Amino acid sequence: MRIGSSIFLIALGAILAFAVQAQVSFVDITLVGYILMAVGVIGLIASLILAAPRRQARVSESRSVVDPNTGETITRRESRDTGL
C-alpha cells in the first residue's frame, strides 16, 4: 500500500464515519469508516517507514595474486553494497 492509497482510505473512512447518515441493518457504516481510517493510518505509517532512506555501506576488496606460470600480477577489485 502506497501513501496515496493510504490517504484515500483515511478520507473514505472519515466520510463514512462522520458524513454518511444511512442506516443499514446488517452493517454499521460508522464502524466501517473507523476501520478504514485505522487501516489507512497503519498503511501510511508503513509506507513512510519503507520509503525512508536507509543507511548503506559499500565494501571494497582488492586482491593481488601472482600467476605462477607467467609471473604476471593479477589484481581483482570487488565492491558490493550491504544495505539494511
The pLDDT confidence band at residue 83, using thresholds 50, 70 and 90, is low
Report CA 25 to chain centroid distance, whole Å: 39
**Tens-digit pLDDT profile for residues 58-82:** 778 888 888 888 888 888 888 877 6
Q: What is the per-residue pLDDT across 7-64, written as a single tens digit (0 to 9) for each?
A: 999 999 999 999 998 888 899 999 999 999 999 999 999 999 988 777 777 778 888 8
Rounded distance between C-alpha atoms, residue 65 and residue 59, angstroms: 20
